[in-house]
Amino acid sequence: MELKFEGLPGTDETALNAFFSEMMPLESITLSPRTCRAISRGVCRSLSAVSEGPVKPHFKRQDETRRFSAEAIDKLERCLLDLERIG
């Protein structure tokens, strides 16, 4: 897999050339969701503890975060199925 960070959209072609590009093996890429999961769990536990008091989370943002998380889980499960089919 190739990871690229590009310039701002709407700029000329030369500015859109990747200013960072790196080839990464699949096993390295799968560490990223694992790390994000660990961080997210810690944040969600803290948010849960804080929301038991007078401070409440922004519900629209919480709903979006829940939706993004569900989509990520679905995509990771599909990836796992593909890997299992490969052998």
Contacts for 71-80 with beta carbons within 8 Å, 24 or more apart? 72/33, 76/33, 79/30
Q: Whole-model pTM?
A: 0.58
Please list, in sequence order, all residues whose beta carbon lies within 8 angstroms of the beta carbon of residue 21, skipping any fewer than 6 positions away: 2, 3, 4, 5
Q: What is the pLDDT of residue 82?
A: 92
Q: What is the pLDDT of residue 29?
A: 77
Asked whether residue 2 carries a pLDDT value surpassing 70, the answer given is no
User: What pLDDT digit, counting tens, does each position of 6-56 carry?
Assistant: 666 655 555 556 566 677 777 777 777 888 888 888 888 988 898 888 888
Tokens for 42, please give them. Answer: 């810690």
User: What pLDDT digit, counting tens, does each position of 51-72 carry?
Assistant: 888 888 888 888 998 898 899 8
Distances (CA, A) of 6 to 37, 46, 58, 85: 26, 34, 31, 34
Tokens for 40, please give them. Answer: 């997210």
Q: What is the pLDDT of residue 74?
A: 92
Domain-wise residue ranges, the chain: 26-86
Q: What is the pLDDT of residue 67?
A: 92
Please list, in sequence order, all residues whose beta carbon lies within 8 angstroms of the beta carbon of residue 4, skipping any fewer than 6 positions away: 18, 20, 21
